[in-house]
Amino acid sequence: MYKTPAFRNILLLIFTAVVLVSLSIVLYWKHLDNVLEQREKADIFSAGQTLAKEFNYQIDAELQVLASVGESLEGLPRVEDTKGLMLYLARQKQRNNFEMMGFQFPDGKTYFSDSSAQNDFLSAEAISAAYRDNYYVSRSAAHDDKRIIIVKPVYRNGNKAGVLFAAQLTAFYETALYREPVPGYTQWFIAGADGDIILGRNNAAAGCLKQIPPDNGAARCSLSGRDYFISSVPLEYNNWRLLALQPNPGHRPQKQLTAAVFMCVAIIIVLGVLLLFIILAYRQHSDALYRSAFIYHVTGLGNHNYFESNFARTADAFRKNKIPFALTAVNINRFKAINDIYGFEQGDKILKHAARILKEEVKENELLCHSSADRFLLLLACPDRAEFNARIEKILSRISHFCQDEKLCLEITVNAGMYLVDEDVPFYIMIDRANMALNSIRRDAGQTFAFYNDAYREQIKLISEIESKMNAALADGQFKVFIQPKYDFKTRRIESAEALVRWQDAKKGLIPPDKFIPVFEKNGFVLKLDMFVLEETVKLLARRIKEGRRVVPVGVNFSRLHLEDARFIDAVTEIVDRYNLPHNLIELEITESIAFDSGKTMRGVLDALHARGFTVAMDDFGAGYSSLNILKDLNFDCVKLDKEFLTRGETSERMRHIISGTVEMIKKLGCVIVTEGVETKEQVEFLTAIGCDLAQGYVFSRPLPSADFEHLLDEDVLKTKL
């Protein structure tokens, strides 16, 4: 019947958590990747630096060797001794591990350590650079000559004596410098300023040269689909650079990442389980809250709040599909009386029975609630008026037959008031309209349901008509007091009576009080009218006393509104005293529901009235909110059993026992018992048997115009002789 708070929110929460965690993993991955890349770069750079340093050392050492050989040549007496020179060079070459050595005189004559060597690699620029810088290091100028040439000038007595030079195979450096500073695949090579490769162990990746920044540093480089880290370190000679290169190991963060993902998944699982617990606890809690906020405990149906909060959605769906719909109030009549008579347990069973039937009858797209004790609200589709009426009739008739078991079956009267929603008015106004329709039902005419739209217009018209005329009618004497005798079973005479007002309208004739008293109760005019009826009654009785004719106490009805008025008792006393009428001839009839509403006020009023010698009757006992407790707490002089009470006695033997028991109890409290609405001889017999004191009803006399009543009282005869 109801839905727990949206599961969507929870899913959203979980989704957000997953997104956040995934995002964190991605960010962590990026960070890790970055950190590792920096590390890779740092590694390759330091490898490059080491290699560069070693290469610089190597060249430095070779230049030093040349320098010391050159110095020893300076000291030799016969440099021109070419044979000796060549022998010397050959020895030095061997000792110092050069591939070749040579000496060139300023006149261009050149001598080598090996007789087969040719001077095709030493350019004029190399020689002048050597004199200028005091050394020269270069690649061999000869085509396809994979050698490095180092040159050192030699002086004799301060004059240029020639240049000493040595050649070394590039492979020598490659082997000498070969290292694996970074375990794995470090490659390296030396590039010239113009980007050509001078030497290198593996220069296949020389293409990276174009992508690497020329200064000191490392970078990432991609080459024919492969990814490398490459570092560039400047060398001391000729703007050469040492380039170290290593393929990107790729997916390096995998391990760390796997650990991170594993951790995240573990965290998600732990959090998930925790969340699940929290959600379960929350749902239990919110279910309980929901039940207390939206469920009517007796029937388990949604309550008024539930109905109100789902109303707009249901109504909108009807509107969208262009289906007319009706707000329907279903009421179990006299439910309080059912509770009093059969007990709360039985009352609850009846409510559950009604709830079950309503649940069965209400369709998916409609709405139902248990609004208050005996009231249900429904929002029903009403595409066709005739079909709808039949549906309502069926629902009401199903509810009205209640059988607890084979022995106990009850006929409950159930009514429905409908507002066919045709205006966009606030919810509470719709409820008012359905209730108004409910209240307009003429149960006495066998009506069980009514629509607001019909009843309302009629009622509004009537009310405004009544209100526009009431003051003039009172001044004009259009309100007439009728009197109905009360018959005493013991003395078999009229021992009491009740004053009942009627409205004698020129056009409409005699209007019964049911038509206008409720209106006057709403607008307060009943306060004036009751006092008018009291005064008319007092006048009549006072006159009869004066005329020496028989009088009996007369009951006058007083609306509950008087109880709020502090001057009420004084006003009553003032009227009665004005005609010098003994107080005990006036009995105030007050409807019992009033006593229920405000027990304390009622007790005060009763005490004050008693103190002044008036008697007070509790009217309509058994009609609505009857409770024997009220009688226990408030000392009424008389209890008037409602017509309904008698009708119920006719339903079963069991009911009759309950009624006689109730009467017996009331009598024990010292109250006089009057039964209203006695219409048949059988009822008279039953009432006599159970010990009722007085009877008021059509079987003896209807309420009569005062003159007719006086005549009846004078004659002391009744229509029915028992």
User: Exactly one of 698, 705, 706, 708 binds ligand C2E (CB under 6 A); which one?
Assistant: 698
Instruction: Report helix, strand or coil for 327.
Output: strand
Site pattern 567..606 for Ca ion (x: CB under 5 A) = ----------------------x-----------------
Which listed range, 60-68, 310-318, 600-608, 696-704, lies at the site for ligand C2E (CB under 6 A)? 696-704
Q: What is the CA radius of gyration of the chain?
A: 60
In the complex, the smallest distance separating the C-beta of residue 713 from ligand C2E, rounded to whole angstroms, is 17
Residue of 590, 594, 554 whose CA lies nearest to 709: 554
Q: Could you say whether residue 585 binds ligand C2E (CB under 6 A)?
A: no
Separation CA 88–CA 70 (nearest Å): 11
User: Exactly one of 536, 619, 644, 710 binds Ca ion (CB under 5 A); which one?
Assistant: 619
Binding partner of residue 378 among ligand C2E, Ca ion, none, CB under 5 to 8 Å per kind?
none
Q: Could you say whether residue 678 binds ligand C2E (CB under 6 A)?
A: yes
Of residues 607 through 646, those in contact with ligand C2E by CB under 6 A are 619-620, 643
Q: Could you say whether residue 620 binds Ca ion (CB under 5 A)?
A: yes
Q: Could you say whether residue 530 binds ligand C2E (CB under 6 A)?
A: yes
User: Exactly one of 500, 581, 585, 663 binds ligand C2E (CB under 6 A); which one?
Assistant: 500
Site pattern 673..692 for Ca ion (x: CB under 5 A) = ---x----------------
Q: How many CA atoms lie within 13 A of 498 on its CB side?
A: 28
Q: What is the CA 261 to chain-centroid distance, rounded?
A: 34
Separation CA 170–CA 179 (nearest Å): 16
Separation CA 458–CA 441 (nearest Å): 12
347 membership: H or E segment, kind and range: helix 344-361
Q: What is the residue type of 24?
A: S
Binding partner of residue 576 among Ca ion, ligand C2E, none, CB under 5 to 8 Å per kind?
none
Binding partner of residue 484 among ligand C2E, Ca ion, none, CB under 5 to 8 Å per kind?
ligand C2E
User: Exactly one of 379, 526, 606, 617 binds ligand C2E (CB under 6 A); which one?
Assistant: 526
The dihedrals phi and psi of 721, each to the nearest 5 degrees, come to: -100, 130
Q: Could you say whether residue 679 binds ligand C2E (CB under 6 A)?
A: yes
Nearer to Ca ion, 229 or 482 (CB): 482
Q: What would the two tokens of residue 428 be? A: 């509470």
Q: Could you say whether residue 559 binds ligand C2E (CB under 6 A)?
A: yes
Q: Report whether 586 contacts 553 (CB < 8 A).
A: yes
In the complex, the smallest distance separating the C-beta of residue 498 from Ca ion, rounded to whole angstroms, is 5
Q: Could you say whether residue 400 binds ligand C2E (CB under 6 A)?
A: no
DSSP letter string over 125-193?
Answer: HHHHHHHHHS-EEEE-SSTT--EEEEEEEEEETTEEEEEEEEEEEHHHHHHHT---SSTTT-EEEEE-T
In the complex, the smallest distance separating the C-beta of residue 683 from ligand C2E, rounded to whole angstroms, is 9
Print the SS3 string covering 200-258: ECCCHHHHHHHCCCCCCEEEEEEECCEEEEEEEEECCCCCCEEEEEEECCCCCCHHHHH
User: Exactly one of 437, 501, 542, 694 binds ligand C2E (CB under 6 A); which one?
Assistant: 501
Catalog residues that contact Ca ion under the rule CB under 5 A.
Answer: 557, 589, 619-620, 676
Catalog residues that contact ligand C2E under the rule CB under 6 A.
Answer: 484, 500-501, 512-514, 517, 526, 530, 533, 557-559, 589, 619-620, 643, 676-679, 696-698, 703
